[in-house]
Amino acid sequence: MLLKLAWRNIWRNKRRTYITSASIMFAVFFSSSMEALQKGAWDNLISNVVNFYYGYVQVHQDGYWEEQTLDKAFALNPTLEALPETVRNVEAIIPRIESFALASSGEQTMGTLVIGIDPPVEHSMTDLENRLVEGTYLNEQDKAVLIASGVGERLKLSVGDTLVLISQGYHGANAAGKYPVKGIVKFGSPELNKQMVYMPLAEAQWFYGAENLLTSLAFRLKNADAIPETVKALAAQLPADEYEVMDWEMMIPDLVEARALDSGGNVVVYIILYMIIAFGIFGTILMMTKERSYEFGVLVAIGMHRWRLSTVIWLEIVLLGILGALFGVLISLPVVYYFNINPLEFAGDYSSMMEKFGFEAVFPAAFRAEIFLTQALIVFVLTAILGLFPYWKIRKLEPVQAMRA
């Protein structure tokens, strides 16, 4: 009965209902859009770094990640080869040998990360072949390299030019070689673009004097959301004193900390946004309460219980909150979806500044149901709490004074 009365009441003054619902609707819209852009930017950055190179999980010889030296290389044994069959979430293993090398062309030199890969297997996880912007992809027998676009720009190399590599190999052996550039790849991560050089696994093992050895095994997973369970399953399969199993958060703690710092900064922004929203909603509730003082006075004077009247008014505000939150989600959906498939892209000085911090200046919006539902719920709860104001007002109401106002 009270709910039915509240529903009828909110439509007695359509203008007031539209104003209140609109303030709630725009609150949901702005908070949802902001959250979607923030999460989308970080999802894009993590995807660029994790999917383009690291993978979600890797296995190394125990202690390798701290030192990252070729002396911690290991052989691919039957136990490791069988992991896709013995660990449910592992779809494939991606073998690599990697180390830093001095790259040179003409008078230009720079430090690079040289990675030996199994070309078709690497492509299956990192989609490397589709990142080619010039030239052709490697095959297993090539004695050539792929370079990242930033390396090519720095060393002034194009397809067909020769790259000279000098490094230290396995157990201190000298490593030096000249390789033609077969292709140039471009990554979404500026950091990867500035240092990556790829060569076939067998050639890289020869170059480093580490035949049949690897420095890491990356894993292609069936379900990227089950990383903790996969790490536990791998750790259970492998001797703890021989191998270390690491997920991407362990390998790139700086990225995790940067995301946490950014999220913490956004909490302050959200608090300010919610305060503005709260004042806007409270203003409309205050206006509604003031406009209806005469009505409240009459109802109390003729014998309506104050708690019943307060409950009806609170239900009216809750219904307005539901309507506003629902419409806020509905107008957010197409806007966020548009920026999901058409990301914001920045150029010029802002893009250069972002690249210095290792960010690609591309901001797609995250299109996930929990973003809209969470923001709608927060604004609705905020509205319901502010809707308690009429309880206090009606409890102190003097019917005669209210009817004279």
Provide the angle, in degrees to the nearest 10, between the axes of the packed helices 306-341 and 293-301: 140
Contact 275, 379 (CB under 8 A): no
In total, how many domains does the chain have? 2
State whether 198 and 299 are in the same domain: no
State whether 190 and 265 are in the same domain: no
State whether 221 and 78 are in the same domain: yes
Query: How wide is the angle at C-alpha 95 spanned by C-alphas 93 and 100, nearest 5°?
Result: 145
239, 272, 296: which is the final residue of a domain?
Answer: 239
101 three-state secondary structure: strand
What does DSSP say about strands 174-185 and 162-168: parallel, antiparallel, or unpaired?
A: antiparallel
3-state helix, strand, coil in the chain (%, to 5): 60, 20, 20
Q: How confident is the model at residue 282 (pLDDT cuts 50, 70, 90)?
A: confident
State whether 145 and 294 are in the same domain: no
State whether 75 and 134 are in the same domain: yes
Phi-psi region of 232 (alpha: psi -120 to 50; beta: other; left: phi over 0): alpha
State whether 209 and 292 are in the same domain: no
End-to-end alpha carbon distance in the chain: 29
What's the rounded mean pLDDT across residues 374-387? 82
Residue 361 is predicted with a pLDDT of 63
User: Over the chain, what is the mean pLDDT?
Assistant: 83
What's the rounded mean pLDDT across residues 153-178? 91
At position 141, the amino acid (one-letter code) is Q
State whether 82 and 36 are in the same domain: no
239, 267, 298: which is the final residue of a domain?
Answer: 239
- The model's pLDDT over 19-73, given as tens digits with 9 standing for 90+, comes to 778 878 888 888 888 888 888 877 777 776 777 778 889 999 998 988 888 999 9
**Spatial separation of the C-alpha atoms in residues 293 and 291, rounded to whole Å:** 6
State whether 81 and 215 are in the same domain: yes
180, 210, 239: which is the final residue of a domain?
Answer: 239
Cβ of 112: how many Cβ atoms within 10 Å?
Answer: 25
Contact 371, 329 (CB under 8 A): no
What is the DSSP secondary-structure string of 61-84? ETTHHHH--GGG-EE--HHHHTHH
Q: Give the pair of three-digit tokens for residue 390.
A: 């009429």
Asked whether residue 250 is assigned to any structural domain, the reply reads no
Asked whether residue 317 is assigned to any structural domain, the reply reads yes
Element at 221 (helix H, strand E): strand 216-221
Q: Which domain holds residue 31?
A: 2-49+255-404
Asked whether residue 130 is assigned to any structural domain, the reply reads yes
Asked whether residue 174 is assigned to any structural domain, the reply reads yes
| pLDDT greater at residue 178 or residue 263 | 178
Query: Which residues are registered as beta bridge partners of 97?
Result: 116
Cβ of 63: how many Cβ atoms within 10 Å?
Answer: 11
- The model's pLDDT over 211-223, given as tens digits with 9 standing for 90+, comes to 999 999 998 888 8
State whether 216 and 76 are in the same domain: yes
State whether 322 and 384 are in the same domain: yes
Phi-psi region of 209 (alpha: psi -120 to 50; beta: other; left: phi over 0): left
Asked whether residue 316 is assigned to any structural domain, the reply reads yes
Asked whether residue 163 is assigned to any structural domain, the reply reads yes
**Spatial separation of the C-alpha atoms in residues 114 and 147, rounded to whole Å:** 9
% the chain with pLDDT above 90: 27
Query: Which residues are registered as beta bridge partners of 213?
Result: 75
State whether 145 and 98 are in the same domain: yes
Rounded alpha-carbon distances, angstroms, from residue 98 to 65, 142, 213: 12, 17, 10
**Spatial separation of the C-alpha atoms in residues 315 and 244, rounded to whole Å:** 57
| pLDDT greater at residue 17 or residue 200 | 200
State whether 259 and 299 are in the same domain: yes
**Spatial separation of the C-alpha atoms in residues 387 and 311, rounded to whole Å:** 10
Asked whether residue 57 is assigned to any structural domain, the reply reads no
Asked whether residue 266 is assigned to any structural domain, the reply reads yes
